[in-house]
A and B are shown apart, each in its own frame.
Chain A
Amino acid sequence: MSRDFTIKIKTVSELEAFRKRILNDLKKARVVLTLCGGTGCQASRSEAVSTAVKDELIKQGMDENVHVRVTGCHGFCEQGPLCVIEPGNTLYCNVLPDDAREIVTKTVRDGEVVERLLYTDPVSGKTIQTESEIPFYRAQDRQLLAQNRQVDPCSIEDYIAIGGYSALAKTLFEMAPKAVIREIEASCLRGRGGGGFPTGLKWAKCREAPSDEKYVICNADEGDPGAYMDRCVLEGNPHLVLEGMMIGAWAIGAREGIIYVRNEYPLAVKHTRIAVQQARDLGLLGEDILGSSWSFDVEISRGGGAFVCGESTALMASLEGKVGEPRPKDVHTVVDGLWHKPTTLNNVETWANVPSIILNGSARFASKGSNGSKGTKIFALTGHIKSTGLVEVAMGTPISKVLFDIGGGPANGIPIKAVQTGGPSGGCLPADKFYLPLDFDALAEAGSMMGSGGMVVMDEGTCMVDVAKYFLTFLQDESCGKCVPCRLGIDRMLEIITDITEGRGKSQQISLLEELGHTISQTALCGLGKTAANPVLSTLRYFRDEYEAHISKEECPAGVCEALITYEIDPEKCTYCGVCKLACPYEAIMGAKEEVHTIDLQLCQKCGICRSECKFEAVQIN
């Protein structure tokens, strides 16, 4: 995909001239057809759609003046593949390859709207033509995500067209490194990866650290289950991240940068590689950038698949080719980081915020958000909610606004019980906390965490003890195993919770769980270990009654914990269709044709597949 650029951009005026030329070229297109090609839409076969659309355009002889742009994720993955057509800004959802012909004929050629492809509002039942009218988008403030729709991630021209690399030019020629750091400090930007450490302070400390060699690292090892905003930004707009890193590198005095990206994100790896190569080809990476005599280059390193590598010292160990085990941080990585050199590590979203702060000023950035948390933040809204996808809102927006105004409320009509934020380091907040603003401090105070921005919505059908067990299982699997509290402590917590979910729990175990949780959070070696008990501690805080029900009544109120439930087929409702019998992997369902089916409780493994398959709600939980 990488192409051979014959020209090099050597000065700022050449960059501006290049930009002008691209903009002129873009003006020639009468219609711009934007197709989402993010990982989500790709899973919904968006590639076939774009091929079909391009073929159709050629067939109808319109490929000359219609610009087809395949972009990164738009965030509304649930409705994908997505297609936006300008002028008119018409949004089509769930587009299939077979729709290409109608789209090209009606909308591109005749300017008409294909009604059946429009988004239908689940509340009013009416169709909506443009993105900006859809509640999911309307209530958002998409500072970063909006750009994803404007650029083809594999085209540096697209990025330059929307003003890309002008923040870099401004940095290199109009601002001293210290002025850059002051600007970032004034913006109050805090790390988007989880901890919320002030970015400007981090840079300042790294700049002060004495060394000839320094590094900047972009952490794109997004291991939090239920979070994918970093994937989306890196995959959809890699040059934005690159430009942010370059500005940071210049500010702290680094000449080398590394992007550490999860190998589970193949598209992000691919797009980042292309972006780095294009920037090198154009001379925006390498020696003497834009004639500033400053040199900088970026390497890409693929993660090996370890959640713990999201921790900075573990990530750096991994970059050095070692196992990703954290080490004690008595000396911070801004002084003693990669190869024992001063290192500034920020996550994707943090770097992506940098160019606009430099270009538009810290005041504009800081005008959004709450007291201690400025700017916007991207959240991944998933789980039992109507509209799932990526949501960008100003910090301090109440949780309820995200859940109900943007997300449209519960998916299956079952009331929402809790929302889990912050992944395995965060916690579950109950419905009576939904008034809380989404900012670093309010969430931490409530026993959860901003984390990287995952928001998993859980309805009344979710068992909170089971959720705690889920996270412990995850953490047990992902802990590096180096220190005693994390390795043995999590193991014991899981042992206790398993006892509880299987009806062997004792009431004193609840206080033991709490004591153990606090021990882990105070003594574990790394940041991830220190927060590992949060899912348990927060569910104990808000959903203690569920724990108690499991223990004293040996009952799972949500009907989830396998050992405490049995499945039964209601003979009144059973239509003898045989679907459950076919579905059961353990051959535990009996019953001939035209005969009420029954479940053999000896064979039943309580997986619940029969219940999910039965269309007549005949399988019931006791």
Chain B
Amino acid sequence: MLQYVTLEIDGADIVVPRGLSVLDAAIEHGICIPHLCHVRYLSDIGSCRLCIVEHVVNGRSKITTSCTLRVQEDMVIQSNTERIRKLRRNLAELLVAHAPNSRAIQDIAVRCGVKEVRYPFRNENCVLCGRCVRVCSECAGANAIGFVGRGKNRRVDSPFGSLSEFCVECHTCIELCPMSIQPCIGYMEPGEERLCGACESQLDLADELPGHCVWCELGENFQCGRY
């Protein structure tokens, strides 16, 4: 039998099954917590850090990722404070500066309120969210790709660097890849990168209702767990 717990997210009391992550609980109740590496049916690794929230314990708040935090009775979570919004914006800025050629990443930047990018753009084609890696091992059971190297040399690769004999060609990795969706303004050549900003109507939403899920078009693009 399912057991339920009651917790507070952004002032609202919500009741969800035990064992759920705070992120899933929030999304289920229409509370928008931006996220990238999280996919509902895959394990959570807490690597993109976008879904950070403040977990208030005994009056002291601790910042942690909501995807890796399990719901507990009487838990108090704040997902949309000034502090969180600023940190999330800075993280989204790092991501979009690194890999601007993705509608998913561009939309995350919009949703997180990024208005300018203070770093030189790079035109990388991977943000190491690890969606492909996890789906390959957890769903396809193939272990055909994985993270290799460490630090700035970390990359997704197949065993021994050659196209994997283990690949079952299910293509789920490509389906889940945020980099596989081109920005609305089309592919940007090196030197042309910018914040897309094509969806200005969505920009207002992000400003006015940052913590509420309004079924924005953005969510569909950044493969938000609600869609």
Direct touching of A and B (C-beta under 8 Å) = yes
Complex Cα gap A434–B68 (Å): 42
**Smallest Cβ-Cβ distance to B130: which chain A residue:** A482
Question: Which of chain A's residues have a CB closer than 8 A to the CB of B94?
Answer: 484-485, 488-489, 492
**Smallest Cβ-Cβ distance to A324: which chain B residue:** B150
* A479 part of interface (Cβ distance < 8 Å): yes
Instruction: Report A358 CB to chain B, min CB distance, Å.
Output: 33
A-facing mask of B192-226, CB < 8 A → 1, else 0?
00000000000000000000000000000000000
Partner of B87, one of A306, A480, A482, A522: A522
> How many chain B residues touch the partner (CB < 8 A)?
33
* B153 lies within 8 A of A481 (CB): yes
Secondary structure type dominating chain A contacts: helix
* B63 lies within 8 A of A481 (CB): no
A-facing mask of B92-115, CB < 8 A → 1, else 0?
001101100000000000000000
Question: Which of chain B's residues have a CB closer than 8 A to the CB of A495?
Answer: 119-120
**Smallest Cβ-Cβ distance to B155: which chain A residue:** A481
**Smallest Cβ-Cβ distance to A530: which chain B residue:** B63
Instruction: Report B119 CB to chain A, min CB distance, Å.
Output: 5
Partner of A481, one of B95, B120, B151: B151
10 closest pairs, A vs B, by CB? A481-B154, A328-B68, A519-B90, A488-B94, A479-B151, A328-B46, A481-B151, A523-B49, A483-B47, A482-B47
Instruction: Report B42 CB to chain A, min CB distance, Å.
Output: 15
Question: Which of chain A's residues have a CB closer than 8 A to the CB of B167?
Answer: none
Complex Cα gap A249–B104 (Å): 50
* B65 lies within 8 A of A481 (CB): no
* A483 lies within 8 A of B46 (CB): yes
Complex Cα gap A308–B63 (Å): 21
* A525 lies within 8 A of B47 (CB): yes
Instruction: Report A528 CB to chain B, min CB distance, Å.
Output: 12
Question: Which of chain B's residues have a CB closer than 8 A to the CB of A519?
Answer: 87, 90-91
Complex Cα gap A323–B151 (Å): 12
Question: Which of chain B's residues have a CB closer than 8 A to the CB of A476?
Answer: 151-152
Complex Cα gap A323–B69 (Å): 23
Given contacts A515-B90, A523-B52, A523-B63, contact A488 B95 (CB under 8 A): yes
Question: Which of chain A's residues have a CB closer than 8 A to the CB of B90?
Answer: 515-516, 519
* A491 part of interface (Cβ distance < 8 Å): yes
Instruction: Report A482 CB to chain B, min CB distance, Å.
Output: 5
* B49 lies within 8 A of A483 (CB): yes
* A162 part of interface (Cβ distance < 8 Å): no
Which chain B residues in 144-175 approach chain A with CB under 8 Å?
Answer: 147, 149-154
B-facing mask of A317-358, CB < 8 A → 1, else 0?
000000100011010000000000000000000000000000
Q: Which of A482, A516, A522 has the most CB of B within 10 A?
A: A482
* B45 part of interface (Cβ distance < 8 Å): yes
5 pairs, CB–CB < 8 Å, chain A vs chain B: A477-B151, A481-B147, A488-B94, A488-B95, A515-B90
Complex Cα gap A439–B45 (Å): 35
B-facing mask of A485-511, CB < 8 A → 1, else 0?
101110110010000000000000000
* B49 lies within 8 A of A485 (CB): yes
* A431 part of interface (Cβ distance < 8 Å): no
**Smallest Cβ-Cβ distance to B50: which chain A residue:** A484
* A86 part of interface (Cβ distance < 8 Å): no
* B152 lies within 8 A of A328 (CB): no
* B128 part of interface (Cβ distance < 8 Å): yes
A-facing mask of B37-71, CB < 8 A → 1, else 0?
00000000111111010000000000111001110
* B47 lies within 8 A of A484 (CB): yes
Given contacts A492-B94, A523-B49, A523-B63, contact A481 B119 (CB under 8 A): no
* B118 lies within 8 A of A482 (CB): no
* A478 lies within 8 A of B151 (CB): yes
Question: Which of chain A's residues have a CB closer than 8 A to the CB of B128?
Answer: 481, 487
Partner of A330, one of B64, B97, B120, B153: B64
* A525 lies within 8 A of B151 (CB): no
Instruction: Report A202 CB to chain B, min CB distance, Å.
Output: 18
Instruction: Report A374 CB to chain B, min CB distance, Å.
Output: 25
* A512 part of interface (Cβ distance < 8 Å): yes
Question: Which of chain B's residues have a CB closer than 8 A to the CB of A492?
Answer: 94, 97, 119
Question: Which of chain A's residues have a CB closer than 8 A to the CB of B150?
Answer: 306, 308, 323, 478-481
* A484 lies within 8 A of B46 (CB): no
Question: Which of chain A's residues have a CB closer than 8 A to the CB of B50?
Answer: 484
16 further interface pairs, Cβ-Cβ under 8 Å (given A328-B65, A482-B154): A327-B46, A330-B64, A480-B150, A481-B149, A481-B151, A481-B153, A484-B95, A488-B98, A492-B119, A495-B119, A512-B118, A522-B83, A523-B49, A523-B52, A525-B46, A525-B65
